[in-house]
Amino acid sequence: MDKVVDKAQVTDTTVLQVKGLKQYFPVKKEKIRQEKQYVKAVDDISFAIEKGTTLSIVGESGCGKSTTGRAILRLEEPTDGEILYKDTDLAKISKRQLKKVRGEIQVIFQDPFASLNPRRTIRKMLNEAMEIQQVGDRQNREARMLELMSLVGLPPDSLERLPHEFSGGQRQRIGIARALSVNPEVIICDEAVSALDVSIQAQIINLLKKLQKQFNLTYVFISHDLSVVRHISDRVMVMYLGKIVEIADKKDLFDKPLHPYTKALLSAIPTTDLDSQRKEIEISGDVPSPINPPSGCRFHTRCPFATEKCRQEEPSLQVKMNGSDNHLAACHYADEIFANS
């Protein structure tokens, strides 16, 4: 029998808890009398993250993973729900209070320099980030900048250089240094290694893991690439059309995926294992519009196992018979599909 559990289970070491988060964006009306419509980018999701661990959020483009990251950072005003960080609801606090917390929750984007002044040296960039968050005095900051360069594996003279003088991998090292400069607890990595070559990706992932261990950092790692996610995650959350369809510890999710969508994503990862017994699950078509998501299970228009019940009833995110107590999936037939796979 399926067991309903609190989707955002909290323990003594929970650092961030998201409850019932919704992020809707209004659609511009084409006709005056047209009913107001919304893109439901994130639609009622709940989860929790333990301190010093990595939760990866995966899914196809448009599934809501980056919007979730942006909502945690309050780069968007959440439509509804709570984002609890150290007993503070980030979704509700004022801009002034938010400024104080901002240093503790940092972000690394795909291209950390996209929003930066190309004429400012790395020294100016790091100094400014620390000044805004009132980290140390001038002397401390000087020492801290040199320490940061060493932590991310760049020579000290990198501080005097301009953004365009660095390669993609080096830029990401500077992005990490900038995030670290203000002593964060949580870092949101939004497609942070997606634009890099595979060998550079591995170096950055190893660096992130080393720093996590050293500073007990918590990562929210947003990626469309499950082969990368496999190397960095403790827990993985799969999203589809604004909903969580499966969340589990990494090993459980990769070894025993319960949701057909997760199975399809995993079966699309290239493998060199010629003996692999993995059964391919193909999904056809595009992700439907998040303005009018399909009724019932949102995945039913692409799911090879869909029935009438799937079209009518939305499955809740639950522990399943074939999974551990910490493994939740939103599918009416997860156990039957698992048994036959």
Q: Which of residues 231-260 bind ligand SF4 (CB under 6 A)?
A: 259-260
Lateral strand order in the sheet of 54-58: 105-108, 186-190, 218-223, 54-58, 235-240, 243-249, 328-329, 318-319
| 305 is a site residue for ligand SF4 (CB under 6 A) | yes
- Other Cβ atoms closer than 10 A to 21: 25
Nearer to ligand SF4 among residue 178 and residue 300 (C-beta): 300
Please state the closest distance from residue 209 (CB atom) to ligand SF4, in A: 33
Judged by CB under 6 A, the number of residues near ligand SF4 is 13
Q: How far is CA 285 from the centre of its chain?
A: 24
Tell me which amino acid residue 6 is. D
Residue partners of 298: CB distance under 8 A and separation at least 6:
240, 241, 242, 243, 288, 314
Nearer to ligand SF4 among residue 65 and residue 320 (C-beta): 320
Closest CA to 255 of 277, 239, 288, 284: 277
- Site map for ligand SF4, 13-52, x if CB under 6 A? ----------------------------------------
Closest CA to 149 of 120, 179, 111, 177: 177
| 322 is a site residue for ligand SF4 (CB under 6 A) | no
Nearer to ligand SF4 among residue 260 and residue 290 (C-beta): 260
The SS3 of residue 302 is: coil
Nearer to ligand SF4 among residue 38 and residue 305 (C-beta): 305
Closest CA to 259 of 69, 63, 74, 6: 63
Nearer to ligand SF4 among residue 125 and residue 264 (C-beta): 264
The span of 35-43, 86-94, 285-293, 301-309 binding ligand SF4 (CB under 6 A) equals 301-309
Nearer to ligand SF4 among residue 175 and residue 315 (C-beta): 315
Please state the closest distance from residue 273 (CB atom) to ligand SF4, in A: 26
| 310 is a site residue for ligand SF4 (CB under 6 A) | yes
Please state the closest distance from residue 338 (CB atom) to ligand SF4, in A: 11
Q: Which regions of the chain does DSSP assign to beta strands (E)?
A: 14-27, 37-50, 54-58, 80-85, 88-89, 105-108, 186-190, 218-223, 235-240, 243-249, 318-319, 328-329
Which position among 24, 221, 299, 338 is part of the footprint of ligand SF4 (CB under 6 A)? 299
Closest CA to 149 of 118, 114, 125: 125
Binding site for ligand SF4 (CB under 6 A): 259-260, 297, 299-300, 303, 305-306, 310, 315, 331-333
